[in-house]
Amino acid sequence: MIRVITYGTFDLLHYGHIQLLKRAKALGDYLIVACSTDDFNALEKGKHAYHDFEERKVMLESIRYVDLVIPENHWEQKRDDIIKYQADIMVIGDDWKGKFDYLNDICKVVYLPRTEGISTTKIKNDLEKSHI
């Protein structure tokens, strides 16, 4: 069984997220999604998600490509997660290209292209503009 793991906030779940999860699952048999906790977002990423962690977790668990959702509590947990969950591949968006190459000693790191024209930031900006 090939296990794949990916990381993200997955706020304002959108088509780009679904495409990432679909492509990540296509690389293996079992997909683990590490979803950023509210504290991690606020304290380390400097952002606030619209949906809290539990809501994002429930949404992710309802997606057919996702087999397991775990909390992402800090940047450094990736190595431990890969070992604990016996992940063969770590998938992340190509906006992080090269940042996680140091994990290639324990798994294959794959940087997937982002879905053009969609992001949570774009959705938030579009909503702000429409309420002016």
As annotated, the active-site residues are: 45, 47
Other Cβ atoms within 10 Å of 25 Cβ, number: 20
For the four alpha carbons of 98, 10, 17 and 105, in that order, the dihedral sign comes to positive
3 state SS of 132 = coil
Q: What angle do CA 54, 15, 66 make, to 5 degrees?
A: 50
Position 94, amino acid: D
Q: Please state, in angstroms and rounded to a whole number, the distance separating the CA atoms of residues 9 and 35.
A: 5
3-state secondary structure of 55: helix
Query: Measured in whole angstroms, how far is the alpha carbon of residue 91 from the centre of its chain?
Result: 8
Q: How large is the C-alpha radius of gyration of the chain?
A: 15
